[in-house]
Structure 1
Amino acid sequence: MIMKESVESSLIFEKHFKVIASLTPSRTGLVIHVVFKNEPLPGRQVTPNVEIWFPINGYMTYMYKTIEENMVVLIESIYDVSDSEPAMHDYFIAPGKSAEAYFYIRIPLEHVERMKEIADKEGIVTLFLHLYFSVLYRARSFAQKTYKLHLVYKFNIPKVIIEQWLARWIVTYAQYIDLPSKISREILSDFIEAVKSFNVGAYKAAVAMARRALQQALEDKGATKGKKLLEQINELKNKKVLDKATASLAHGVRQFGNYGAHPQNDLLAQVTRDDAKLAIDITKKILKELYSIQ
């Protein structure tokens, strides 16, 4: 069964001004669709005009439970991606009329991983969308008044929908670094961490994470868990999962990774930028060979 990927929540101001927010997954984050509805009041009540003033700012958080407390984790700020020109962006909404705006928030890989962890454990992920903007209430009348609103939307996302979102995001992150989309989230995360470490000059961390990504991939392809990486490489070589040349490359990553993972060898200082780049390039080559469609 294919479930709808979008989720929706709404809030009402002064019994008639409704602001509806919906979340739809994109390649690397969420598109936020906000609809402003000035619904007529019942009977003979006069429904005021409403004017929305831009910019609309905001951010998104989620709940993360630890043993001691419930933590609120900040993801990122939202970005206005509406088509309107900034100078024409304020909305005058007469009774019975509506207006809409679109925003975007990127979901970094570390939050993708944590959401998966929460969904697996709790069966649901709770997201909070915060919107800040000003409203001119009773607009174009002598009684008009400005309100500064802080709207907080709560979205309880069930695991089945979160998994659809995660699958979309993981494929995109894999494509960005030119790796097959079949690679698991854990392996991809370790490889991206290796690249990120390299980009900030943390070469020791880069080779250690490249080694970790390699080992997880070998175990995913049938190497016995708990064995040393040396033994796992030889095991898959004997099973013909790795050819002789690829196994040799894997041993090179193993040796690089040992520098970062085992300080007692006193080889940590020997890891250079070139070493780290070579370890990452070799790991990427091996991952592509292991997971590419034959």
Structure 2
Amino acid sequence: MKIYSNVKIGPFRIYNNIVTGPLIIATQLTSGRGGFYISLAFRNSGKNNVEIWFPIEGYLDIVGDNGHEYICRTLETIEALETTEAYTSNNNVIMTYDYFLAPNSTKYANFICIVEPYIALRLYSYTTDRISSDDVILKLRLTFSALFNAGTPSQKTIKVTPILFFKVNKNLLKTWINGWYTFYLESERLPDTVPPEVIVNYFEAIRSFNAGAYRASVVMARRTLELALLRKGLITEKETIGDFIQKEKRKQSNQRVLSDKVSDLLNAIRVFGNYGAHAWDDALNDITEHDARLVIEILKEVLTELFSK
């Protein structure tokens, strides 16, 4: 399934093109490993030769209601379709790319645009409530040089700076991001004082979520929280999260370990995760992806406040 410009044919590829004099640049945007995969097709529609000069610099932004925000920089892949082979003295093969375009010819270049986890988290927020539209707009900024009328007395080098826009459905973008990362893996956002054994359990909850094991993810989130409270000396080995919450409720607000807001969030984790003794009464059959995602978000909030003191 594909998406062509503004006409939706399907969900996995998005196309756009731009004309720069005799040079037509067609682009394809789809999901790759850890980010976007961008394919460029250069077509010479003129009567004289054109030569594309590398490097081709590229930057991808997201266009929001309040302006543009950087996503990633493109990196050339080795999957260019037009290649020749050159040999060194010891017969090692070196692949060279030929971007000399005769009239009516086309050459291709492929790029990856790696989205770092912390940017993926921000990008994900655009699929929820940061923009009012059902689609998000991505802007690709390219910069490269091209020799027009190559091989003639009138040849001239021109800096080419095309800008291309892609309209991507929010749900499609969300699917892509979920395929790249579990963006909860942002250990840099957790305090350095979180004990290693707590982090290990936290990541296991995340890995369970990543695998689609949402019930296991919720149970591991509860285990992580109980271990965190135990390491902070806030519960004993015989006490539970619920015991801690009840003790907090009996204290004055200025004497509580956690804020009222975080205590309420913590109680939500207890509600979701305080099961698992028996398959017939664990109350986890109806746990959804949304439930598990919420639990991990709450857990992150609690750990941050708990170990920032």
Normalising by the smaller structure, the TM-score range is 0.5 to 0.7
> Match of 2:172, SS?
helix
Judged with a 3 Å threshold, the aligned counterparts in structure 2 of structure 1 residues 50 and 234 are, in CA distance, closer, same or farther, namely: closer
| 1:74-223 matches, cutoff 5 A | 74-83=70-79, 84=83, 88-121=96-129, 122-169=133-180, 173=181, 188-190=182-184, 192-193=185-186, 195-197=187-189, 202-204=192-194, 210=202, 217-218=217-218
The Cα offsets for residues 42-101 of structure 1, whole Å up to 9 and x where unpaired, read as xxxxx1211101111111111233xxxx13211121111134588833511111111111
**Which residue in 2 is equivalent to 1:8?**
15
Question: Aligned partners of 1:115 and 1:144: how far apart in 2?
Answer: 43
**Consecutive unaligned residues in structure 2, runs of 5 or more:** 3-9, 86-93, 207-213, 223-240, 243-262, 285-300
**Which residue in 1 is equivalent to 2:68?**
72
**Which residue in 1 is equivalent to 2:50?**
50
Q: CA deviation at 1:163?
A: 3.5
Question: Aligned partners of 1:107 and 1:237: how far apart in 2?
Answer: 37
**Consecutive unaligned residues in structure 1, runs of 5 or more:** 41-46, 174-187, 243-256, 269-294
Question: Aligned partners of 1:142 and 1:104: how far apart in 2?
Answer: 37
**Which residue in 1 is equivalent to 2:247?**
none
Question: Aligned partners of 1:234 and 1:103: how far apart in 2?
Answer: 43
**Which residue in 2 is equivalent to 1:278?**
none
Matched letter for residue 203 of structure 1: T
> Match of 2:154, SS?
coil
The Cα offsets for residues 213-256 of structure 1, whole Å up to 9 and x where unpaired, read as 79x954999999946458548832565479xxxxxxxxxxxxxx
| Equivalent pair of 2:219/2:274 in contact (CA under 8 Å) | no
More helix per residue:
1
State the TM-score, normalized to the length of structure 2. Answer: 0.58
State the TM-score, normalized to the length of structure 1. Answer: 0.60
Judged with a 3 Å threshold, the aligned counterparts in structure 2 of structure 1 residues 136 and 197 are, in CA distance, closer, same or farther, namely: same
Count of matched residue pairs = 220
Please tell me whether residue 236 in structure 1 is matched to residue 275 in structure 2: yes
Question: Aligned partners of 2:303 and 2:11: how far apart in 1?
Answer: 48
Judged with a 3 Å threshold, the aligned counterparts in structure 2 of structure 1 residues 236 and 33 are, in CA distance, closer, same or farther, namely: same
Matched letter for residue 32 of structure 2: S
| Equivalent pair of 1:123/1:158 in contact (CA under 8 Å) | yes
Please tell me whether residue 17 in structure 1 is matched to residue 17 in structure 2: no
Q: CA deviation at 1:258?
A: 6.8
Question: Aligned partners of 2:175 and 2:34: how far apart in 1?
Answer: 13
Judged with a 3 Å threshold, the aligned counterparts in structure 2 of structure 1 residues 210 and 261 are, in CA distance, closer, same or farther, namely: farther
> Match of 1:261, SS?
helix
Q: CA deviation at 1:114?
A: 3.1
Judged with a 3 Å threshold, the aligned counterparts in structure 2 of structure 1 residues 12 and 205 are, in CA distance, closer, same or farther, namely: farther
- CA-atom RMSD, angstroms? 4.2
| Equivalent pair of 2:218/2:273 in contact (CA under 8 Å) | no
Deviates more, 1:54-63 or 1:219-228: 219-228
Judged with a 3 Å threshold, the aligned counterparts in structure 2 of structure 1 residues 232 and 105 are, in CA distance, closer, same or farther, namely: same
| Equivalent pair of 2:202/2:220 in contact (CA under 8 Å) | no
The Cα offsets for residues 99-136 of structure 1, whole Å up to 9 and x where unpaired, read as 11111111223333333332333311111111111010
| Equivalent pair of 1:115/1:125 in contact (CA under 8 Å) | no
| Equivalent pair of 2:219/2:273 in contact (CA under 8 Å) | no
**Which residue in 2 is equivalent to 1:35?**
41
Q: CA deviation at 1:197?
A: 5.0
Judged with a 3 Å threshold, the aligned counterparts in structure 2 of structure 1 residues 107 and 234 are, in CA distance, closer, same or farther, namely: closer
> Match of 1:82, SS?
coil
Judged with a 3 Å threshold, the aligned counterparts in structure 2 of structure 1 residues 220 and 124 are, in CA distance, closer, same or farther, namely: farther
Question: Aligned partners of 2:137 and 2:122: how far apart in 1?
Answer: 12
